[in-house]
């Protein structure tokens, strides 16, 4: 039932695009996909503010490229691909910045040791998110799409432009790494 509603919305958006009503199509697209895109990005970044920034960038990219959408893939797939790429780019930039900060701190002899044992739901969730953040970027993407988004492998293959077999292997490796990380933590 949900997929049928999504297909109807997608058809409505595509119809508006064909009519040249880009603003209306974009407004409907934002209404339809903003929440799902936010949570997709949030699971990858694990930070509300960062996720909001990336989601804004995603919708800017969508707006800039909406007129060029060819329909080779489903609109949903195209949007998730943009969101995934933006989140991965953000993570790479953040990793570079963090590396520079760590190098500067090491040169200055500063060490930051903060631990606060607090055994509640937030701590468990934080441990899970920390384990996810330890995964390589591609495995993190696959894990988030499969685990949080419950996206079928076939759809994931279209989003990531990867084979179903490679995605299954990547997800399996991600789960094993997370299990090991959580046991060691």
* pLDDT tens readout for residues 139-182: 999 998 888 888 899 988 988 889 999 999 999 999 999 888 88
CA distance 28 to 11: 11
pLDDT at 182: 83
Residues 6 or more apart whose Cβ sits within 8 Å of residue 91: 44, 45, 137, 140
pLDDT at 72: 80
pLDDT at 110: 46
Q: Sketch the domain layout of the chain as residue ranges.
A: 1-113, 118-185
Asked if 141 contacts 88 with a C-beta cutoff of 8 angstroms, the reply is yes
CA distance 34 to 47: 16
* Residue range 1-113, CATH number: 1.10.1740.10
> How far is C-alpha 178 from the chain's CA centre?
18
CA distance 75 to 88: 20
pLDDT at 105: 58
pLDDT at 114: 45
Confidence of residue 111 (pLDDT cuts 50, 70, 90): very low
| Assigned token pair, 180 | 């090991």
- Give the right CATH number for 118-185 from 1.10.10.10, 1.10.1040.10, 1.10.357.10, 3.10.20.340: 1.10.10.10
CA distance 141 to 136: 9
Count of CB atoms situated within 10 Å of the CB of 163:
11
Confidence of residue 61 (pLDDT cuts 50, 70, 90): very high
pLDDT at 125: 73
Confidence of residue 63 (pLDDT cuts 50, 70, 90): very high
* Interval 53-74 mean pLDDT: 90
Check pLDDT > 90 for residue 3: no
């Amino acid at each position: 039932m949900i997929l049928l509603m999504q297909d109807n919305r997608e058809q409505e958006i595509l119809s508006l695009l064909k009519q040249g009503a880009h603003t209306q199509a974009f407004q409907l697209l934002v209404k339809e996909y903003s929440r799902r895109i936010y949570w997709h990005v949030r699971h990858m970044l694990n930070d509300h503010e960062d996720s909001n920034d990336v989601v804004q960038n995603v919708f800017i990219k969508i707006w800039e490229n909406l007129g060029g959408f060819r329909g080779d893939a489903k609109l949903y797939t195209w949007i998730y691909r943009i969101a995934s790429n933006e989140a991965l780019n953000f993570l790479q930039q953040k990793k570079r910045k963090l590396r520079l900060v760590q190098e500067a701190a090491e040169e200055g002899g500063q060490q930051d040791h903060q631990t606060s044992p607090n055994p509640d739901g937030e701590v468990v969730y934080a441990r899970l998110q920390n384990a996810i953040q330890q995964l390589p970027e591609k495995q993190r993407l696959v894990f988030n799409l499969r685990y949080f988004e419950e996206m079928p492998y076939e759809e994931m293959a279209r989003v990531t432009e990867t084979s179903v077999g490679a995605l299954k292997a990547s997800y399996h490796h991600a789960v094993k790494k997370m299990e090991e990380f959580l046991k060691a933590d």
